[in-house]
Amino acid sequence: MSEFHDIGWAVKQMWIGDKLRRRGWNGKGMWIALQRPDERSKMGRPYVYISGTDGKLIPWNASQGDLLALDWEIAS
């Protein structure tokens, strides 16, 4: 691993519009992103969602492992 990126870096990247993943995640193709509600949204505040291995989107909650990990990177 050439660079270490923590959750703080990952959150900043999501705020500028990037999708993120962890190198340590087992599921291929998984990533997280920030959803910012607009006038058409039923949600009133921003939230993070994940694209699972099946490509379906669901709200995401970080585990302790995710919060302390140093393997965050931009998802391509």
Question: Over the chain, what is the mean pLDDT?
Answer: 93
Kindly indicate the confidence band of residue 2, based on its pLDDT and cuts at 50, 70 and 90.
Answer: low
Asked if 20 and 31 count as a contact pair (C-beta separation under 8 A), the reply is yes
Bridge partners for 47 per DSSP: 35
Domain boundaries of the chain, sorted by first residue:
7-74
| Longest pairwise C-alpha distance within the chain | 41
- 3-state class of 18 per DSSP? coil
What residue has token string 């870096």? 9
pTM of the model: 0.89
